[in-house]
Structures are given as C-alpha cells and as structure tokens.
Amino acid sequence: MLVDTHTHFYDEWLLPDAEAAIQRALDAGVGKMIQADVDSLERPRMWEIGLRHPGVLFQMLGLYPGSVTADNWKEELDAVYRIAAGDARSVPGMTDFIAIGEIGLDYHEGKEFAREQKEVLRLQFELAAKLNLPVNIHLRDAWEDFFSVLEDCRHLHLRGNLHCFSGSFEVYERANRSGDFAVGIGGVLTFKNASLPAVVARIPAEHLLLETDAPYLAPVPYRGKRNESAYLPLIAARLAEVKGLSLKEIETITTDNAIRLFNL
Ligand code: NI
C-alpha cells in the first residue's frame, strides 16, 4: 500500500470526479490519502468528502499562506482555533484532523502580505506544538523568511514535512537543525530537472514521503494535465530509481514513514 501524504480531492478541478478518483487510487494501490486544508471557504467541502471515506481519507487543519490577506487573517485563524478547540458545529466530525497544514509562506504572487503570512505561520506552529501534531509546510519563493520563523520556533521541537520539496540539501539540513522534517516527493521528481534527483538521493530514506498535490503537478507522462492520487505509483517508481532501491522497498519505507509521522 502507498500513502499520498498531500492531496486535495475537494479542489474544484477534481471535485466533480472525486469519488471515481478515490476508487482509481485504491485500485492503483494507494490505500490512504491525506487532504491538505487551505481556508474556511474550501474546508467544508474537504470534510464532506473526507467523512465519506473514514480510514482512507485523512484531513489536515490549517490556513494556507496564499489565502492570507491583511483583512481576513485574524478571522481565518479564529476559525482554525475554534475547530482545534473541538467546536464541530459546522461539520460534525470535523475535529479529527491529523496534522496542521498546509501552512507556510508563499511569495510567488508578491510580498504584500509577507508580515501577515509570517505571523500566521508562527501562530500555527504554536498550535501544532500545543496539540502535539505534525506540520505540513508549503513554501514558495520564501526560504529565508521561513527559516527566520522556524528558527525562532526551535524551542517548540516541531516535526513534520516540507511538502513538494524542491530545495537544496542544505535547506533540508537547515530545517532539521530546528525540528524533525521529512520531505514530500511529488511529480516534480519525474520532470527533467538537473538538481532535484541528486538532492533527493542524499536525503535519508526515513525522511522521504510520497505525495501528488493533486490536482496540481501531475507526474510525467501527465505533466500539465489534472493530477490525481492514482498517479502516485509513477512518482514511487521514479523515487525508487533515484534512491537505487526496488519499488517494493520504496513502498515499505515511505508508507512506514507516513504512518509514523501522521499516526495513521
Ligand atoms: Ni497542496
């Protein structure tokens, strides 16, 4: 069994076909899939589909950096805190989340809300530590600011994973000086890329997780098309090649890692 540690069945691109996509994933040997949360607008849809598949779909709770604005962040974070405190009035069962994510920094569209994003990240790090849950980190064009927040939070002894990892080995090492961080390996590893395979080859096997980030970042030969968890074996095969291990070994290692980190 493979585990997809980061996916979004509730995304509007995938939602109309979500039930069939879940079945295709199961048929492809992907037995457990973890949905990353983004904000209060998408959250009810995530839970609606998640609750239909107990033991197969698992959910995170968190405010995504791309959803943060100066006007909305306090209200959005309050919604996260209310669920964390066990207030499940909006969707029954919504309190069973297994990680805080996806959280992080995203400056791809600019740094207008950089200050708010950093504050939201720091507060959600504190929430994860209080709840003793792993964090699922989304980062785009923001490594230096990420490290300034993470290093301020070193005392929290965070654990988690850097989702859709595309950094250097030094970035991996630096994160692990301030916590215990695995990396999420997705479709990008199947792209023609000069540096990522060499970096992944050096990362210890116990810190490797598989993910699709569906419906985005589809692996080759579906690059540019809609992604889904059923394509995870393509990523596993490429990871096996990069690590010089068999597909079976990669399956065992990454599944054990996911079960251990997310307490599945
Ligand atoms: Ni995502």
- Tell me 264's DSSP state: -
Q: How far is the CA of 163 from the centre of ligand 1 (A)?
A: 8
pTM for the whole structure: 0.96
What is the Cα–Cα distance from 121 to 27, expressed in whole angstroms?
37
User: What distance separates the 2 farthest-apart alpha carbons in the chain?
Assistant: 50
The dihedral over CA atoms of 197, 162, 167, 201, expressed in degrees to the nearest 10, equals: -30
When pLDDT is averaged across residues 97-101 and rounded to a whole number, the result is 97
Q: How far is the CA of 213 from the centre of ligand 1 (A)?
A: 5
Q: How far is the CA of 138 from the centre of ligand 1 (A)?
A: 7
Q: How far is the CA of 50 from the centre of ligand 1 (A)?
A: 16
CB-count exposure of residue 51 (10 Å: 0-12, 13-18, 19+): middle
Look at residue 89 in the predicted model and tell me its pLDDT: 61
Q: Give the position of tokens 């792209």.
A: 191
The pLDDT confidence band at residue 93, using thresholds 50, 70 and 90, is low
Q: How far is the CA of 64 from the centre of ligand 1 (A)?
A: 9
**CB hemisphere CA count around 90 (13 angstroms):** 17
Percentage of residues of the chain with pLDDT beyond 70: 97
Q: How far is the CA of 7 from the centre of ligand 1 (A)?
A: 6
* pLDDT tens for each residue of 19-45: 999 999 999 999 999 999 999 999 999
Q: How far is the CA of 38 from the centre of ligand 1 (A)?
A: 8
Look at residue 90 in the predicted model and tell me its pLDDT: 58
Q: How far is the CA of 89 from the centre of ligand 1 (A)?
A: 26
What is the Cα–Cα distance from 102 to 60, expressed in whole angstroms?
7
Q: How far is the CA of 36 from the centre of ligand 1 (A)?
A: 6
Under the phi-then-psi rule, with left for phi > 0, alpha for psi from -120 to 50, and beta for the rest, what region is 164?
left
Q: Which of 88-102, 196-210, 229-243 has the lowest mean pLDDT?
A: 88-102
The pLDDT confidence band at residue 134, using thresholds 50, 70 and 90, is very high
Look at residue 96 in the predicted model and tell me its pLDDT: 86
* pLDDT tens for each residue of 209-236: 999 999 999 999 999 999 999 999 999 9
When pLDDT is averaged across residues 237-243 and rounded to a whole number, the result is 98
When pLDDT is averaged across residues 184-200 and rounded to a whole number, the result is 93
Tokens of 35: 């949905």
The C-alpha R_g of the chain, in whole angstroms, comes to: 17
Q: How far is the CA of 16 from the centre of ligand 1 (A)?
A: 18
Residue 183 pLDDT greater than 70, yes or no: yes
Q: How far is the CA of 108 from the centre of ligand 1 (A)?
A: 14
Q: How far is the CA of 13 from the centre of ligand 1 (A)?
A: 13
The pLDDT confidence band at residue 88, using thresholds 50, 70 and 90, is low
Segments in the chain forming alpha helices (H): 18-27, 43-51, 73-84, 114-131, 143-152, 169-175, 196-202, 232-243, 247-262
The DSSP secondary structure of 191-225, one letter per residue, reads: S--SSHHHHHHHS-GGGEEE---BTSSPPTTSTTS
Q: How far is the CA of 103 from the centre of ligand 1 (A)?
A: 10
* pLDDT tens for each residue of 40-85: 999 999 999 999 999 999 999 999 999 999 999 999 999 999 999 8
Look at residue 163 in the predicted model and tell me its pLDDT: 97
Nearest to 59, CA basis, from 98, 104, 6: 98
Neighbours of 55 (CB within 10 A): 8
Q: pLDDT: is 162 or 195 the higher one? A: 162
